[in-house]
Structure 1
Amino acid sequence: MRSLIRRKNTPTTPKADPAPSRWAWRMQRLMLTPGFRLMLRAGVPFCLTLLAGTIYLADDTRRARIVDGVAEARRAIEERPEFMVKLMAIDGAEDKLAADIRAAVPIEFPLSSFDLDLEQVRETIKSLNSVKNASVRIKPGGVLQVIVMPRVPVAIWRTAEGLTLVDEGGAPVGPIASRTERPDLPLIAGEGAARHVPEALILIQATAPIADRVRGLVRMGARRWDVVLDRGQRILLPETDALRALERVIALEGAQEMLTRDVSHVDMRLAQRPTVRMTQEATEAWWNIIQSSGH
């Protein structure tokens, strides 16, 4: 039997599209980008913190309070007892040199080690004429230790300004008022004499047989040496091979006592023709003898 009930035709609802929208898809793809996720995790908090800090530090009073706090904390650390230097100890220097070093580096103790420029202290000490080298360090217990290598004077250099002690390299050590202060050191003079101290010392050593008569060496024309003896005598040495020429004169003195006679100059500048110059008195006496013989 055909059913008399008519079924009502209900409209069919279309199914929703599961695919995301274009903007949603793009956002999902962007969230999958490592760089974008890093920016969200770190960049955004950093920018917010920077913005907040900028706003906070825009006030001058807050900035000054922060600066004062940092300075106070730093000062509290630097002035702790273990960082304080209480005294300076100088090793390798005599009393006068030690006093010169203390005068050149006038440090008021106690002082924080953070306020000490050790390199500057070392350079200041090295700038002293009497100091050849120096090292500076801070020892445990708050001691600023200075180890000094002083210059050792080996000769006296006479200049127009006075007398100066020089070391083996010709560097000035310090002035002296009189030759008698260091009678143990040889005397040199003349332009550029300090630059040839090693050669001068060798020549002085060669004059040992007549050391009691040697008064010093004079650099002539910045080229060669004259040996100055007492009684106004001089030995004129050549520019080259001066030692051998001096040894020849010393040998002649030992054999013939040449320098004990009335000789004013022994000229060794020409090795093939040494020349002996007599004193004025001896020359006049010799000339008188000749004249007398002629009559």
Structure 2
Amino acid sequence: MQPVGVNAAPRRDPAPTRWQYRMQRLWLTPLFRVAFRVGLPAFLITFAAGIYLSDADRREAMTSTVTSVRDSFQKRPEFMVSLVAVEGCAPELADAIRARLDLKLPLSSFDIDMQAVHDKVADFDAVAEVDVRLASGGILHIGVTERVPVVVWRLGDTLTMLDATGHRVAGLAERGDRGDLPLIAGEGADEATPEALEIIAAAGPFLPRMRGLVRQSDRRWDVVLDRNQRIMLPAVEPVKALERIIALDQAEDLLARDILAVDLRNQQRPVLRLTPYALKEMRRAQGIDVSEEEL
């Protein structure tokens, strides 16, 4: 038995070396761990990709491959649009919408700008609302809510159909083409269409005789009847003024007489304008001798 310490191997020091100690301390740093686990692989991948793509032929080949894969995916049958269906409007408007879109079908749905399609359809005067969506079976569905014309607006020699808000619906060649619609005229009449419709709705007994409404100075209306009679409404509360003259006409048969105009602009002092013949007869009844030139 050898004595302890005689020719025995030296014991290994369990303490880490200085290099090992520094590496252990560094590894405990969160930023270093993230940089080693994420940053270093990312750098190596980027470096390798940069070397690979530095060659122009390789870049062109990769671009061609990606383009080919993308095109083959986008042009699969389930993504192809072969029909444009326009619903909710007249056939003439539907044909005009298809002509404006001018889509070369069949076409991949990825190549159709849905917002551009929506804007082109909404740009039609006759379209109030539009809904564009892709439907199954390769159909581009366009749902349209068409504006409904309620009046004809005459401005100079131009005739235009308007909806209830005063928005343009379409032009009109002849007044007789839409004789079922009431007529409004004058500068700014389109912007006051809602008020005009209220007046027309209140006209009641005058409707068979009404030829239209004329906007005056962009602030008030004249109701034009047959026999060249005119009711000059005030700028404020024209409907109430019209209702009063209707009641007076029903009681006194006012507008059956020789009257050219009923001026209600000053509601506190309504004025009647007589025809030249009626005015002459009234003055004669009063004993006033009036020559034709004075009339």
Give the structure-1-normalised TM-score: 0.87
Q: What is residue 204 of structure 2 aligned with on the other side? A: 208
Alignment of 1:238-253 (within 5 A): 238-253=234-249
1:262 is aligned with what amino acid? D
Equivalents in 1 of 2:105, 2:98: separation in Å? Answer: 12
Q: How far is 1:14 from its partner? A: 11
Pairs aligned (count): 284
Give the 3 Å change call, closer, same or farther, for CA 20–82 of structure 1 in structure 2: closer
Q: What is residue 128 of structure 2 aligned with on the other side? A: 132
Q: What is residue 168 of structure 1 aligned with on the other side? A: 164
Q: How far is 1:42 from its partner? A: 4.2
1:44 is aligned with what amino acid? L
Q: What is residue 86 of structure 2 aligned with on the other side? A: 90
Equivalents in 1 of 2:162, 2:95: separation in Å? Answer: 20
1:177 pairs, out of 164, 173, 176, with: 173
Q: What is residue 52 of structure 1 aligned with on the other side? A: 48
Give the 3 Å change call, closer, same or farther, for CA 58–243 of structure 1 in structure 2: same
Q: What is residue 6 of structure 1 aligned with on the other side? A: none
Q: How far is 1:169 from its partner? A: 0.7
Q: How far is 1:212 from its partner? A: 2.1
Equivalents in 2 of 1:262, 1:200: separation in Å? Answer: 27
Equivalents in 2 of 1:93, 1:25: separation in Å? Answer: 82
Equivalents in 1 of 2:29, 2:189: separation in Å? Answer: 81
Equivalents in 1 of 2:262, 2:246: separation in Å? Answer: 11
Deviations 1:142-179 (CA, angstroms, capped at 9, x unpaired):
01111110000111111136111111111111110111
Equivalents in 1 of 2:8, 2:85: separation in Å? Answer: 101
Q: What is residue 221 of structure 1 aligned with on the other side? A: 217
Equivalents in 2 of 1:139, 1:110: separation in Å? Answer: 14
Q: How far is 1:276 from its partner? A: 0.6
Equivalents in 1 of 2:18, 2:216: separation in Å? Answer: 102
1:192 pairs, out of 169, 173, 188, with: 188
Q: What is residue 3 of structure 1 aligned with on the other side? A: none
Q: How far is 1:39 from its partner? A: 4.2
Equivalents in 2 of 1:160, 1:292: separation in Å? Answer: 42
Equivalents in 1 of 2:99, 2:114: separation in Å? Answer: 16
Q: What is residue 143 of structure 1 aligned with on the other side? A: 139
Give the 3 Å change call, closer, same or farther, for CA 253–28 of structure 1 in structure 2: closer
The alignment's C-alpha RMSD in Å is 2.6
Q: What is residue 114 of structure 2 aligned with on the other side? A: 118
Greater shift in the superposed pair: 157-166 or 24-33: 24-33
Give the structure-2-normalised TM-score: 0.87
Q: What is residue 75 of structure 1 aligned with on the other side? A: 71
* Unaligned 5+ runs, structure 2: 1-5, 291-295
Equivalents in 2 of 1:116, 1:215: separation in Å? Answer: 49
Give the 3 Å change call, closer, same or farther, for CA 143–20 of structure 1 in structure 2: closer
2:246 is aligned with what amino acid? I
1:132 is aligned with what amino acid? A
Q: How far is 1:74 from its partner? A: 0.4
Deviations 1:34-75 (CA, angstroms, capped at 9, x unpaired):
654554444433322221110110111111111111011000
Greater shift in the superposed pair: 171-180 or 265-274: 265-274
Equivalents in 2 of 1:271, 1:20: separation in Å? Answer: 109
* Unaligned 5+ runs, structure 1: 1-10
> Is residue 2:264 matched to residue 1:268?
yes
> What is the aligned-residue identity percentage?
45
Alignment of 1:2-81 (within 5 A): 18=13, 19-31=15-27, 35-36=31-32, 39-81=35-77
Structure with max Cα Rg = 1
**Which SS does the other structure have where 2:192 is aligned?**
helix
